[in-house]
């Protein structure tokens, strides 16, 4: 089967966000009034949109429902226990709390798993940004030796047939001759993931309710903008919209005692491993910070266990700034306002088709 599938479409929203952020970060003032701070925050951030669905990937209730089942389905993997849900767990805010995730057959993955919430709004997927959309991510995971471990897409499709998914695919993709396909697997999972947005107190604040976040959180927000954090962590997802060198002013790997990773034959050099370009060395996608308080450990290697320490490390290696304890506390209070609720449709497990897994 020829895979003519393209997952590359994105809206022009990002350029717009980056423009706004550059503007916001420039305005460093001593002490903002309540309304000044809100005005500056509005220049840098924006509330989550009501949906992450896009015209490129039409959705329907049947498609979202199928996508949810597929997200929780582990029998398409070669060990029968690995799926999206293995690394993106409802009990851990859509992440897994492990420094580095565990993939099919227990293999240790090269990087930390980030939360799945709000990810369709990011510029691309993975720390290296090597997946342009959540659909491409779900699609390629099927044949990844770290994820589902199938040799071919056909192998995965055969399992979907065996498990009895055909009627569900046909309902989700009516009028398609071959509804059960790896591409439709990806589109359905994307349709579901695009519902997993987590509006938080900070969105209420951005919409004008200045009582929605605490005084400490506002002090933290002010520093977050003034110190330059918002230079990268901006937009509706507070990050995840751009790439940046990790360890701008100080070596991250030395600062944190981060270890070499066999998969990378040494330190993890970020985007470089995907492109091979010298200029991409140490370049990583800036993580979104929504729900960051709920998803330790931190960074691409999960080497830092607490948010306090993660804030300290970032200030130091990216901005050359040593934060006082009170500053850390305030910034952490601000980051806490990015915690939304685990979506109901994620918290509640779906009933999966009743069929025995066939061990290869």
| Cα(89)–Cα(291) distance, integer angstroms | 14
By beta-carbon proximity to a second copy, the closer residue of 59 and 100 is 100
By beta-carbon proximity to a second copy, the closer residue of 80 and 199 is 80
- Compute the least distance from the CB of residue 321 to a second copy, in Å: 24
For residue 287, give the nearest of 310, 255, 312, 258 by alpha carbon.
310
For residue 193, give the nearest of 7, 5, 1, 3 by alpha carbon.
7
- The encoded tokens of residue 166 equal 């055909």
Half-sphere exposure of 295 (CA within 13 A, CB side): 30
- Compute the least distance from the CB of residue 84 to a second copy, in Å: 12
For residue 268, give the nearest of 242, 292, 303 by alpha carbon.
303
By beta-carbon proximity to a second copy, the closer residue of 215 and 351 is 351
Q: Are 141 and 147 in contact (CB under 8 A)?
A: yes
Half-sphere exposure of 9 (CA within 13 A, CB side): 8
By beta-carbon proximity to a second copy, the closer residue of 162 and 226 is 162
By beta-carbon proximity to a second copy, the closer residue of 178 and 348 is 348
- Count Cβ atoms within 10 A of the Cβ of residue 257 and give its class: 0-12 exposed, 13-18 middle, 19 or more buried: exposed
- Compute the least distance from the CB of residue 100 to a second copy, in Å: 8
- Compute the least distance from the CB of residue 348 to a second copy, in Å: 5
Q: Are 21 and 44 in contact (CB under 8 A)?
A: yes
Using DSSP, state whether 289 is helix, strand or coil.
Answer: coil
User: b/e map of 312-324 (b: 16 or more CB within 10 Å)?
Assistant: bbbbbbbbebebe
For residue 205, give the nearest of 336, 93, 22 by alpha carbon.
336
Give φ, ψ of 55 to 5 degrees: -60, -30
| Cα(312)–Cα(307) distance, integer angstroms | 9
- The encoded tokens of residue 58 equal 């039409």
- The encoded tokens of residue 45 equal 């951030």
What residues make contact with a second copy under the rule CB under 8 A? 72-73, 75, 79-81, 86, 89-93, 96-100, 102, 105-106, 293-297, 302, 305-306, 342, 347-352, 354-359
- Compute the least distance from the CB of residue 75 to a second copy, in Å: 6
- Compute the least distance from the CB of residue 106 to a second copy, in Å: 3
By beta-carbon proximity to a second copy, the closer residue of 23 and 355 is 355
| Cα(226)–Cα(24) distance, integer angstroms | 9
By beta-carbon proximity to a second copy, the closer residue of 199 and 353 is 353
- Compute the least distance from the CB of residue 59 to a second copy, in Å: 22
- Compute the least distance from the CB of residue 104 to a second copy, in Å: 9
- Compute the least distance from the CB of residue 175 to a second copy, in Å: 29
By beta-carbon proximity to a second copy, the closer residue of 251 and 309 is 309
For residue 124, give the nearest of 10, 292, 46 by alpha carbon.
10
By beta-carbon proximity to a second copy, the closer residue of 81 and 321 is 81
Q: Are 317 and 250 in contact (CB under 8 A)?
A: yes
């Amino acid at each position: 089967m020829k895979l003519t599938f393209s997952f590359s479409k994105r809206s022009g929203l990002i350029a717009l966000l980056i423009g706004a952020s550059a503007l916001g970060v420039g305005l460093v003032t001593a002490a903002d009034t309540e309304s000044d701070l809100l005005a500056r925050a509005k220049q840098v951030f924006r509330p989550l949109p009501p949906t992450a669905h896009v015209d490129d990937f039409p959705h329907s209730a049947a498609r979202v429902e199928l996508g949810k089942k597929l997200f929780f389905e582990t029998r398409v993997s070669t060990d029968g226990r690995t799926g999206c849900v293995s690394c993106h767990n409802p009990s851990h805010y859509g992440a897994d709390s492990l420094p580095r995730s565990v993939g099919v057959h227990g293999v240790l993955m090269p990087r930390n798993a980030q939360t799945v919430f709000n990810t369709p709004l990011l510029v691309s997927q993975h720390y290296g940004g090597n997946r342009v959309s959540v659909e491409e991510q779900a699609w390629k995971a099927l044949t990844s030796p770290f994820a589902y471990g199938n040799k071919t897409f056909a192998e995965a499709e055969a399992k979907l047939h065996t498990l009895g998914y055909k009627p569900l695919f046909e309902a989700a993709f009516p009028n398609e001759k071959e509804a059960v396909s790896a591409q439709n697997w990806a589109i359905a999972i994307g349709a579901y993931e695009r519902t997993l947005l987590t509006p938080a107190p900070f969105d209420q604040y951005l919409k004008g309710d200045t009582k929605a976040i605490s005084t400490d959180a506002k002090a933290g927000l002010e520093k977050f903008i003034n110190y330059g954090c918002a230079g990268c962590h901006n937009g509706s997802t507070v990050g995840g919209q751009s790439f940046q060198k990790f360890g701008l002013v100080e070596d991250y790997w030395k600062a944190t005692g981060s270890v070499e990773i066999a998969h990378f034959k040494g330190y993890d050099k970020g985007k470089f491993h995907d492109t091979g370009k010298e200029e991409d060395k140490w370049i990583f996608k800036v993580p979104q910070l929504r729900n960051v308080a709920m998803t330790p450990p931190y960074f691409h290697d999960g080497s830092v266990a607490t948010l306090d320490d993660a804030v300290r490390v970032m200030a130091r290696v990216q901005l050359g700034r040593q934060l006082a304890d009170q500053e850390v506390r305030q910034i952490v209070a601000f980051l806490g306002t990015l915690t939304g609720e685990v979506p109901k449709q994620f918290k509640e497990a779906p009933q999966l088709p009743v069929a025995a897994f066939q061990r290869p």
